[in-house]
Amino acid sequence: MTSSAFSAVDLRSYFLFWDDVKTLTGSSESTIRRAIKRNDFPAPIHLFGDKGKVGFRKVDILLWCEGRWSPEGGV
């Protein structure tokens, strides 16, 4: 396994990407973006600086799906 393949596997252990989040929530990207602006949904994190891919912390999305996520952190 190359280091870049290992990194991709490693990232998926901790982060979800747009397609994953849309599938889990059943919401469109625009609906999710509006919820992020209202602070009703976990914001994505820039994984490689300001350019490139963003990811959502897996734990935050799973908590949101269970109705236990809060913008202040904690459960």
**Per-residue pLDDT tens over the stretch 1-56:** 455 555 556 777 899 999 999 999 999 999 999 999 999 999 999 988 877 889 99
Q: Where are the beta strands (DSSP E) in 1-75?
A: 15-16, 45-50, 54-57
- When pLDDT is cut at 50, 70 and 90, the band that residue 57 belongs to is very high
Q: What pTM was computed for the model?
A: 0.79
Question: String of b and e for 10-25 (b: at least 16 CB within 10 Å)?
Answer: eeeeebbeeeebeeee
